Amino acid sequence: MGEKILMKGNEALAEGAVLAGCRFFSGYPITPQNEVPEYMSWRLPEAGGTFIQAESEVSAINMIYGAAATGIRTMTSSSSPGISLKQEGISYCAGADLPIFFANVVRGGPGLGNIAASQGDYNQSVKGGGHGDYHTIVLAPNSVDEMGNFPKKCYELAEKYRMPSMILADGILGQMMEPVEFKFQPVDPKSLKKPEWSLGSAEGRKKRIVRSYDLREGELEKLNWIRAKKFKEIEDKEVLFEEKNINDAQLVLVAYGTSSRIAAAAMKMARDKGMKVGLFRPITLWPFPKKQLAKMAQRVKNFLVVEMSQGQFVDDVRLAINGTAEIDLYARPSGIPNGEEVFAVVDKLYQSIKPAIAAKKAEKSKPAKKAKAPKKAKPTKKLKPVKKFQPVKKKTTKIKTAKKSTKKGGRR
Amino acid sequence: MELVNKKPSSLVDIKMHYCPGCGHGIVHRLIAEVMDELGIRERTVGVAPVGCAVFSDDYFNCDMIQGPHGRGPAIATGIKRSQPGCIVFSYQGDGDLASIGMAETVHSAARSENISIIFINNAIYGMTGGQMAPTTLIGQPATTCPKGRDPKVNGYPIKVCELLSQLDGARFLERTSVSTAQGVIKTKKAIKKAFQNQIEGKGFSLVEILSMCPTNWGVTPLQGLKFVDEKMMPLYPLGVFRSPEQEGGQK
Amino acid sequence: MPEIRVDETRCKGCELCTKACPKSCIEMSDTFSVTGYYPAKLAKTDCCIGCGLCAQICPDLAIAVWK
């Protein structure tokens, strides 16, 4: 605590989990998350915990299912294809109301895709992931520091609500090095209370069952209603987000994780040129900061979503804003934009909305008159949407933001 | 007069849902008796499978967890490694253990996880309605091979004990049957050994039990006993395939 | 004299016990039990030796052996 250490994102993630009390990890190699199991393989035994390299992701998540059922803090991590394999087990944990924590260091997809960063697993993460009616609490860090500090938050939320929680990172966050400061006292697992549902040591009490099925008529529905209520409570209480330069903003960039850093760079360039551009960054992707965005859309009439996927995240922004403002999208599906490139989009968009902003300003400065003035709320209708899926300036596509994984080929 | 066979306290005193003549009930009772005799009920965690024995989490009077199809050994690994003081067993059928969960079976054996696996081999998928299992015999009809298992189409049955006996980590492997009362008694001994091995930290133990599924075989319970003895045993010979007493295995 | 008592609410009439009995003392009842099966019963007096093999193979814990 209080000390800054230079670490790789994946290692910070692993260390953050250990400091938060994790004493069991099972995983399987897959790039770009390999540093997590590698780190855990020596760090956990040192801390008196267990590391297992499982025979597959399927087995790894089920080891977690078993270990978590004994009431300890566990972790598994993987990257996109591996997370797909883990979804059945995650669904079982959700169905058995087990608090588990896992991380997805997302890579390009679909299929084997590539090993560079992507945000293509957004929908899979926030809309459930596996089969059945459930949610996963999703935290999206955008720095190595947050990679190190979010696991503790994930454990606390997972345990409070008895459900899976995850960190949605990507290949850049996993691979890059930055200073990290663990801003909490290391958690001694012995100080954590054994939950009243945990298995093992049944001396003097009735047997307990951990299971995800209920075949009795109507019982599963009852259980799912209890969960729905819990999910509602989480949406009310546990939303996390970050805002930058929002107060006077006429255009707000909306982005999470790595793309929020790129968007922040673009915002800075815009501000330097006098444009009133802000940034809204959801930290919890589920629960999604719907209310906050909706409230902002009462004043701000233009949003630009930046994401490294085809347009998954933008759907949640649209749902939140619900038609009350214009939303544009700059998408790079399994591509990594840079600040200049996003700035070019911002610039173009901002110029197109300028007349509307000016009109609005003029309207405001005029003394109040009869209300029937024609509304000028749809300036962006005329805007030719920025060509999607392609960097605007071809010549600037050399990526400077962060290095790709240094590993060649990788495990598979 | 005195009651000779008290019901084991490690089994919940409720009626089981199994079909008449099914072997699951017998094996459940044997596991419960072993838990009673070894005095380990309160520190035992059982893993219930997917399949007919999914409800065994209600039947065993110890902590139970029910998991995805085939993943029993992985779940058992997670429990055992995080709570080494617990006795952990995984109860699995043939589709569960030898088909969808073969990787978990082989690798938990290879790691010599200190767990006990009770494997019911009845050569058929029971709960889903009689489909072909990895252990279905050549020529044996099933709902997904109605004319009988044809090796050209469906391949050959898997002999789990023989397969696992190639692994150094598989410390105790025995195949028994519950088609006779004597077989039941031998099966109990094997189960007890599997649990004792775990208590003594000897590593991976698996007992393969040839068992009856008259419903899905389409025979009467008595014919079911005959099927085990006459059809299954020639392919799946009974006996001890590996024991901890036997040194190391191939190196 | 040893005897067995069959719990008719548990017996599913599978007949495995009839085959396990070395003395062939067990037969099936010719009337339905409450659960709809023909339960096993000790058919002969002075026959049971209390070996318990019937209870060993009974899948439903329906046989109590008294000695």
Q: Which residues make up the CATH 3.40.50.920 domain(s) of chain A?
A: 241-396
Tell which B residues from 16 to 75 touch C, by Cβ distance under 8 Å: 16, 18-26, 29
The mean per-residue pLDDT over the stretch A382-394 comes to 46
Strand order in the sheet with A241-244: A241-244, A277-282, A251-254, A302-307, A326-331
Range of C53's domain?
3-66
pLDDT attached to residue A382: 42
Query: What pLDDT sits at residue A361?
Result: 81
- Average pLDDT of the residues of chain A: 91
Q: What is the pLDDT of residue B247?
A: 59
Give yes or no for A397 touching B (CB within 8 A): no
pLDDT at residue A369 is higher than 90: no
Look at strands A177-181 and A241-244 and give their pairing: unpaired
CB-based contact (8 Å) between B213 and chain C? no
Closest CA to A17 of A27, A28, A29: A27
Q: Residue range A322-329: average pLDDT?
A: 97
Residues of C in contact with B180 (CB under 8 A): 20, 57
Q: Distance from C23 to chain B by nearest Cα, in Å?
A: 13
The domain that contains C8 carries what CATH number?
A: 3.30.70.20
Residue scoring higher pLDDT (B235 or A411): B235
pLDDT of residue A221: 97
Whether C60 sits inside 8 A of B181 (CB atoms) is: no
Per-residue pLDDT tens digits for B33-92 = 999 999 999 999 999 999 999 999 999 999 999 999 999 999 999 999 999 999 999 999
DSSP-H helix ranges across C1-67: 16-20, 53-57
Class of domain A4-190+213-237: alpha beta
Range of the domain at B183: 24-242
In chain A, ranges of CATH 3.40.50.970 domains: 4-190+213-237
User: In the predicted model, what is the mean pLDDT of chain B?
Assistant: 96
Output the pLDDT for position A366.
73
Q: Is the bond into B84 cis (omega within 30 degrees of 0)?
A: no
**Contact status of A68 with chain B (Cβ, < 8 Å):** yes
On whether residue B8 sits in a domain, the answer given is no
Sign of CA dihedral A284, A287, A290, A296: negative
pLDDT at A125 over 60: yes
Chain C contact present for B4, CB below 8 A = yes
pLDDT band of A399, cuts 50, 70, 90: very low
Domain CATH for B177: 3.40.50.970
Quote the number of domains for chain B. 1
State the sign of the Cα–Cα–Cα–Cα dihedral A369, A374, A377, A382: negative
**Digit-coded pLDDT (tens) for A203-242:** 999 999 999 999 999 999 999 999 999 999 999 999 999 9
The domain A241-396 is placed in CATH, from the list 3.40.220.10, 3.40.640.10, 3.90.245.10, 3.40.50.920, at: 3.40.50.920
C52 and B1: CB-CB below 8 Å?
no
Query: CA-to-CA distance for B79 and B82, rounded, in angstroms?
Result: 5
CA B248 vs CA B164, B192, B197: distances in Å: 14, 22, 15
Nearest CA in chain B to C56: B181
Cβ–Cβ below 8 Å for B181 and C61: no
pLDDT attached to residue A367: 66
- For B184, the closest of C14, C57, C67 (CB atoms) is C57
Q: What is the mean pLDDT of residues B16-28?
A: 98
Angle, helices B181-199/B24-38, rounded to nearest 10 degrees = 40
Identify which of A212, A222, A224 has the alpha carbon closest to the alpha carbon of residue A96.
A212
Angle at A68 between CA B201 and CA B67, to 5 degrees: 85
**Chain C adjacent subunits, 3+ CB pairs under 8 A:** B
Q: Which of A252-261, A356-365, B115-124 has the lowest mean pLDDT?
A: A356-365
Q: What ipTM was assigned to the predicted interfaces of this complex? A: 0.97
pLDDT at C43 over 80: yes
Q: Give me the count of residues in chain C.
A: 67
CA separation for the pair A226, A239 (Å, rounded): 20
Q: Which residues from B are below 8 Å from A59, CB to CB?
A: 71, 74, 103-104, 107
B219, closest residue in chain C (CA to CA): C14
- Predicted confidence at residue A104, as pLDDT, reads 98
Query: Are chains B and A in touch, 3+ Cβ pairs below 8 Å?
Result: yes
